[in-house]
Structure 1
Amino acid sequence: MTPLGAGHRFVPHTADLRIEAWAATRERCLAEAVAAMIDSLLDHPLPPPEFSVEWDLSGDRGEDQLVELLEEVIYRMEVSGCVPVATDITATSSGTHVRFDMAEIQDAEPCGAVPKAVSLHRIRLAPDSSGWRCAVTIDV
């Protein structure tokens, strides 16, 4: 992986979805984790965004923020039937700010199992020699 590279992949896991993501910055790594979750669920091309939602992550630890971020995706799918088709995460003086550009899930082509929850077992978000990496298991 190059220092500026960003991406994600799925790792084999019994009955669940295991995601690994990487990027040059912590914020981009978190956004890649969201993209991985959406890629596991919806086929491309994704529908165009219809509206945006913004908020600040509350956790101080990176792993807590990763859980909060992915749980927010699951919550919005369940409650409003919408998914983020683009994610922008920025570090601010007071924490971490998130913007989801949202689309109706019914406007997308499904390709995988619907996520139910984020597992707290073996979750990781940490710097490495090329930037940042995270790994998380999603219950489907």
Structure 2
Amino acid sequence: MGERPESGHRTVPHTADVRFEAWAPSRERCVAEAVAAMVDSFAEVPAGVATTVVRFRTGPGADPDLLVAVLDEVIFLIDTTGRLPVSARVASGDGGLDVELATADAGLVEPVGAVPKAVSLHELRFGREGAGWACSVTIDV
């Protein structure tokens, strides 16, 4: 197996829920990779389907709390609007995170798994790892 790319994500085995890992050179990029990992766990998104941009800001907090806040907001967005992120841009702002999601209607994607219901705090990990950042998250489905 070759060296892992600078940024990325992958699912890892878990008994009942969905678990993934994400990594990147920066905290903000790692959060964006976590959003992509969560979406990839349940939907196959064709290219060119993003039609709406959604922006939100998390309040200040510890790094793991910020990650959970972003993923919770994505789950809320899916539940309440039927839109899911195609891509995410994350920046630091006022101790929290400024998030911009390019979104698509859920009807335009191919379902490949159960839609997430909540972020589990059990075995949540997010922080510096080597020269970059990494997280490991379990999603209740």
Q: TM-score range by the shorter chain?
A: over 0.9
Identify the residue that residue 72 of structure 2 maps to in structure 1: 71
Please state if 1:17 is matched with 2:4. Answer: no
Paired residue total: 139
User: By how many angstroms is 1:94 displaced?
Assistant: 4.8
Q: In 2, distance between residues paired with 1:38 and 1:60?
A: 24
Residues 61, 95 of structure 2: 8 Å contact kept: no
User: How do 1:31-50 and structure 2 match up within 5 A?
Assistant: 31-46=32-47, 48-50=49-51
SS of equivalent residue, structure 1 residue 67: helix
Identify the residue that residue 125 of structure 2 maps to in structure 1: 124
Consecutive unaligned residues in structure 2, runs of 5 or more: none
Alignment deviations for residues 13-66 of structure 1 (CA, whole Å, 9 cap, x no partner)? 110011100000000000000000111111142552111111211141111111
Identify the residue that residue 140 of structure 2 maps to in structure 1: 139
Letter in 2 for 1:25: S
User: By how many angstroms is 1:137 displaced?
Assistant: 0.4
Identify the residue that residue 62 of structure 1 maps to in structure 2: 63
The CA RMSD measured in Å over matched residues stands at 1.6
Letter in 1 for 2:16: A
SS of equivalent residue, structure 1 residue 121: strand
After superposition, the Cα gap between the structure-2 partners of 1:80 and 1:31, relative to the gap in structure 1 and judged at 3 Å, is: same
Residues 59, 95 of structure 2: 8 Å contact kept: no
Instruction: Give the TM-score, by structure 2 length.
Output: 0.92
User: By how many angstroms is 1:96 displaced?
Assistant: 1.8
Q: In 2, distance between residues paired with 1:117 and 1:93?
A: 26
Consecutive unaligned residues in structure 1, runs of 5 or more: none
Identify the residue that residue 81 of structure 2 maps to in structure 1: 80
Higher strand share: 2
SS of equivalent residue, structure 2 residue 110: coil
Q: Which runs of 4+ in 1 moved over 6 A?
A: none
